[in-house]
Amino acid sequence: MTSSPPEKRPSPEALLRQAKREERGQLKIFLGAAPGVGKTFAMLGEGAALKREGEDVVVAVAETHGRAETEALLVGMEVLPRREVEYRGHRLTGMDLDAVLRRAPALALVDEYAHSNVEGSRHPKRWQDVEELLNAGIDVYTTLNIQHVESLNDVVASFTRVRVRETVPDGVFEGAEIKLVDLPPDELIERLKDGKVYVPEEASRALGHFFSKPNLSALREMALRRAALSVDRQMLQDLDAGGVAGTYAAGERILVAISEQPGADALARTAKRLADGLNAPWTAVHIETPRSRGFDEEAQRRVAAALGLAATLGATIATIPAENVIVGLKGQIEAQRATQLVIGRSQRSWWFELRHGSVVESLIRGSQDLAIHVIPSPELAAAEGRRGAWARGWGRPQAYGAAMLLIAAMTLLAKLAEPVIGRGAIDLLYLVPVIVAATLYGLRPGLFASIAAALAFNFFFLEPIHSFTITDPQSVLTMLVLTGVAAVTSNLAGRLRTRAQIGVRSAQENAALAAFAQTLARAADLDATATATCEEVSRLLGVRAVVMIEREGMLRPVVARPPDAQISPVDQAAAEWSWTSGEPAGRGTNTLLASDWQFHPLKTGLGVLAVLGIARDDDRDPVSADKAALLATLVGQAAHAHERLRLEDEMRGLSLLEERDRLRAALLSSIGHDLRTPLTGITAAIEALAGEHPDAAALPVARAEVSRLRRFLDNLVELVRLDAGGIRLDVEPVDLTDVVAGVVHDLKDLLRGHPIDFQVPAGLPLVRVDARLLHHILLNLLANAIQHGGNAGPITIAGRRTPDSVTLTVRDRGEGIEPGAERTIFDTFAQGRGGDRHGGSGLGLAIARGFAEALGIGIAAANHPEGGAAFTLIFPGELAIPAE
């Protein structure tokens, strides 16, 4: 007959999370490994089924990509109109968040969870729109591919060679229901070949790149694991909220116990191998007991090094205060519902285990659903344990001396009070020094006081007096009862003292962390944040502290406590390594151990923002084992404070940039429009002079200069329109041969004396672009080639087809582009070699790049191997229409 699991109190944190979720809408994510597995189809299918059952369902946004079977599911559904936005000449559509909020349905279907919103939207990302819907109490169904999860972004890029820019934070899975939409790689590849994912031309390219079978298999495994992890976390939260006991080992959860014994690092590596084999999360925990205060420097160093190693290997680390190791470990096992425990076992004598018990044996007997991996500790651990047993177990001799003084004082007081209270009540008086000794000095001094109290009571108050002999049987019983009561009282008082010390320390640390967070929140600049960080770290950890930030290309100290803290060249090297690698360095780490300082990077999603250094005045490691978790929390809070300042600075800079752009646009617009009238007058005057003096030698020069000035003003106006987003696109299939011929015709006057080497084949695919803007792009590129090419040779216009794109290159035979200026040459008012001696305004290439970006065309500049500059337009494959 199996016993029922013990009762468990509901977790307040889990109940609070559950209450917050109930106040919000519920999120359901249809998770897939790759495009084409059927996420949108599954989401719309479930929404349509709920609609038929009478649920209030609306389609906020759904991307069918022209798939007939997906579009069929929209029949009979309420589809909210999309919001239209003008952006750089594009007419873009997106979810109308305000319309969904006004409609307030019970369920909204929102496709493509990781989608980026158009500039000017209330939120930059669609997942943030979904958060607002959830906060309004609206349930949301959405779709997501596994490569869009932020923490997996680097992993996906490592084997697909594709860096996904649109990501969602891992926190969105908190409280969300995950439905895995799965499709085997072979079936997905068949769908791709049948044109059910992309059009055939795009599908052929996709099969050779992202949609290879190894890539799809890896993505599928990642999706399965992420779904399993989310389900496991949700199950644990529900169990905690319901106060349900038990392991519920649907997924593996690994815990490794780190002790002060030699070989603790081997435990961390063993747990890492186990976690990798099971693909399970793991935690490294050190149980801090009262005897931890008696650890020598070497023992503290071992604990800190093992926890640090576990953290670098990917573990969550924790230091848990408890009465003893068994109580602490059992509490942690129950809290995490661990299924696997890795623990070391030192070589103890049978006499030691008889007196103190065995942690491993106790866990094995009391943990039915826990797999325990016991790793024997080296023999050195047992030897060191025997040498330090007295100091760690029995405490300081002063405590026993104080206990004897308490017993002596109580004996004197009892002698004085004996004539008044009688001998029968004296035994109770001896409980007072026993309780005091146990409360002040701990359990074992209390037990010593209880034995001393019993002996004193026997010697001074039991017949025969001044002898340890007891003649009266009743006195023997009194003596035994006094000894037992004193021992139990001492034990209880010692345990209460231990719990009080643990509670007080935890409360102090929590209060200090809360105060530190408030101080950082009030800091308005970098110096104030660095000062608060140094002062708090120095105070809480009892160390010297310094914050270093990169200024003028070098990592420099900003604030130090004490202010005269010195950074040697070795320390500087350790700090710079921590800055560049994003890992701890210096004393007590695995890198640059010769440094007197230990450096920790203040790292966030923006990268490493600063480096925190800590050091002691003695030769000990800067952080003891019991302070490792506290330091990690302080480093994390300081990093987020620096991130806040960085983001605030960027926002202020963005505001200034926007204001500058508005002023520039106003100035350019004014110049462009105000000069048109006098330019028209000048043109009319020249034509009038031409009628009166048709043979005047200056007329061709005047006409050419007026034409150049008109093009300059046109560029000014177009630049203003581009910045203001006032360009409307009229996309249609365009033949590049026709466009190039039209541009050459328009520039026939300028092209006199500049032969054209035309290399655009007639069979080149058509491209979907705005013909007017493409004409303007090529007009500027060809005018640039005329200005900078000189008379060194012909201007080449070449088009060709590549596996992924169509390219069109304009090449001159001039001096080329200055090395390093291949990107800046497209900036507004940028000049090529020779400054403005060629008469260029620096606007033509800026206009070309702006229009190319508006059309989704790539543009690049480079020096041709045979001389001259080459400007290439890159039409992506999705813009190309294959020639028949």
Q: What is the pLDDT of residues 225-255, one digit of tens each?
A: 777 777 766 766 666 655 565 555 556 788 8
State which of 500, 535, 567 marks the end of a domain. 500
Q: What is the pTM of this model?
A: 0.46
Q: Are 328 and 320 in contact (CB under 8 A)?
A: yes
Task: Verify that 863 and 802 share a domain, yes or no.
Answer: yes
Shortest CA distance to 286 belongs to which of 301, 270, 266, 306? 306
Task: Verify that 225 and 335 share a domain, yes or no.
Answer: no
Task: Verify that 135 and 159 share a domain, yes or no.
Answer: yes
Long-range contacts of 48-53 (CB under 8 A, 24+ apart): 48/73, 48/76, 48/77, 50/107, 51/76, 51/77
Task: Verify that 169 and 233 share a domain, yes or no.
Answer: yes
The answer to whether residue 474 scores a pLDDT higher than 70 is no
In the numeric block, which tokens belong to residue 137?
Answer: 């109490």
The answer to whether residue 838 scores a pLDDT higher than 50 is no
Residue 642's CATH number: 3.30.450.40
Residue 286's CATH number: 3.40.50.620
Residue 754's CATH number: 3.30.565.10
Residue 636 lies in a domain: yes
pLDDT of residue 357: 59
Residue 508 lies in a domain: no
Task: Verify that 378 and 406 share a domain, yes or no.
Answer: no
Task: Verify that 627 and 750 share a domain, yes or no.
Answer: no
What SS3 state is found at 243? coil
* DSSP-H helix ranges across 430-568: 431-441, 443-461, 473-522, 526-541
pLDDT of residue 351: 54
* Residue where the block lists tokens 């106790």: 362
State which of 394, 413, 432 marks the end of a domain. 394
- Sign of the dihedral defined by the CA atoms of residues 209, 210, 213, 214, in that order: positive
What SS3 state is found at 581? helix
Residue 216 lies in a domain: yes
Q: Give tens-digit pLDDT for 144-155.
A: 988 888 877 777
Residue 347 lies in a domain: yes
β-partners of residue 89 are none
Please report which confidence band the pLDDT of residue 208 belongs to, taking 50, 70 and 90 as the band edges: very low
The answer to whether residue 383 scores a pLDDT higher than 60 is no
**C-alpha span between 62 and 58 (Å, rounded):** 11
Q: Give tens-digit pLDDT for 743-767.
A: 888 777 677 777 888 888 877 888 8
Residue 771 lies in a domain: yes
The answer to whether residue 30 scores a pLDDT higher than 90 is yes
pLDDT of residue 195: 61
Q: Are 287 and 261 in contact (CB under 8 A)?
A: no
State which of 394, 410, 432 marks the end of a domain. 394
Task: Verify that 528 and 632 share a domain, yes or no.
Answer: yes
Task: Verify that 387 and 427 share a domain, yes or no.
Answer: no
DSSP 171: G
Residue 31's CATH number: 3.40.50.300
Instruction: Give the 3-state secondary structure percentages of the chain, helix then strand then coil, rounded to 5.
Output: 55, 15, 30
Please report which confidence band the pLDDT of residue 723 belongs to, taking 50, 70 and 90 as the band edges: low
β-partners of residue 548 are 557, 611
Dihedrals phi, psi of 24, to nearest 5 degrees: -105, 170
| Strand blocks (E) in 754-863 | 756-759, 766-770, 795-801, 805-811, 858-863
In this structure, of 118-127, 412-421, 617-626, 802-811, the range with the lowest mean pLDDT score is 617-626
**C-alpha span between 65 and 80 (Å, rounded):** 18
Q: Are 118 and 87 in contact (CB under 8 A)?
A: yes
Task: Verify that 447 and 544 share a domain, yes or no.
Answer: no
In the numeric block, which tokens belong to residue 754?
Answer: 């500049």
Residue 667 lies in a domain: no
Shortest CA distance to 492 belongs to which of 535, 548, 561, 431? 431
Shortest CA distance to 574 belongs to which of 607, 601, 606? 601
Query: Residue 234 carries which side chain, given as an amino acid letter?
Result: Q
Residue 82 lies in a domain: yes
Task: Verify that 388 and 434 share a domain, yes or no.
Answer: no
Q: Give tens-digit pLDDT for 498-547.
A: 666 666 666 666 666 677 777 777 777 888 888 888 888 888 888 889 99
- Tell me the CB-side half-sphere exposure of residue 182, using CA atoms within 13 A: 14
Please provide the average confidence, as pLDDT, over all residues in the chain. 76
Q: Left, alpha or beta for 595 (phi > 0: left; psi -120 to 50: alpha)? A: beta
β-partners of residue 87 are 90
Please report which confidence band the pLDDT of residue 836 belongs to, taking 50, 70 and 90 as the band edges: very low
Residue 567 lies in a domain: yes
Please report which confidence band the pLDDT of residue 141 belongs to, taking 50, 70 and 90 as the band edges: very high
Parent domain of 97: 15-242
Task: Verify that 333 and 380 share a domain, yes or no.
Answer: yes
pLDDT of residue 356: 53
| Domains: count for the chain | 5
Task: Verify that 852 and 787 share a domain, yes or no.
Answer: yes
